[in-house]
Structure 1
Amino acid sequence: MGGGYSNKTRATKFNPTGKVRKHLNLQKKRIFVPEINKFVNIEVSVQGMRTMKKNGAYATLLKAGLIKHRMTCRFPAYIPARNFLLS
């Protein structure tokens, strides 16, 4: 056939091309976090979504530093009386 590069030559230094840059598979997601009772808009990779499914959204986002830890207590130890301001 016609002249050209052989496959052996093409795979080596005679026809250099630039390196291919690979990108993450990022998706924009709106995720509900029940621990803080809010929706969070994040750009997350599919691997990150799998991690959230495995470990939970709150724990994963907390470890990534995207949300801050809030100490919430459903039953506080001390509840002042309602009429303490009246006396």
Structure 2
Amino acid sequence: MARKCDLTGQGTRFGNNVSHSHRKTRRTFKSNVHKKRIFLPEEGRFITLNVSTRALRTLQKKGLAAMMKDAQK
């Protein structure tokens, strides 16, 4: 599954593991993305999106239409 949110664009980030002696090695921070079926009341149908858990919380608060409008900006 793709590790990128369809609504927010949040994806994999990169950084360093830092040991006790401050030796640095590269690592990845993967986003928490899930495939969800979301109902569109305007069109009366379901769509499937890859959505991060933070975007799911915002989706419940704002609604899909408001989030899609914000995503286009």
Match of 1:55 in 2: 62
- Runs of 4+ residues over 6 Å off in structure 1: none
CA RMSD in angstroms comes to 1.8
Segments of 5+ residues of structure 1 without an aligned counterpart are 1-9, 66-87
Segments of 5+ residues of structure 2 without an aligned counterpart are 1-18
Match of 1:18 in 2: 25
Equivalent-residue separation in structure 1 for 2:21 and 2:57 (angstroms):
39
- TM value normalised by structure 1: 0.52
Query: What are the Cα deviations for residues 33-81 of structure 1, in whole angstroms up to 9, with x where unaligned?
Result: 102222111000000000100001222133324xxxxxxxxxxxxxxxx
Tell me: higher relative CO, structure 1 or 2? Use CA pairs within 8 A at least 6 residues apart. Answer: 2
- TM value normalised by structure 2: 0.61
Larger radius of gyration: 1
2:34 maps to 1:27: yes
Number of aligned residue pairs: 54
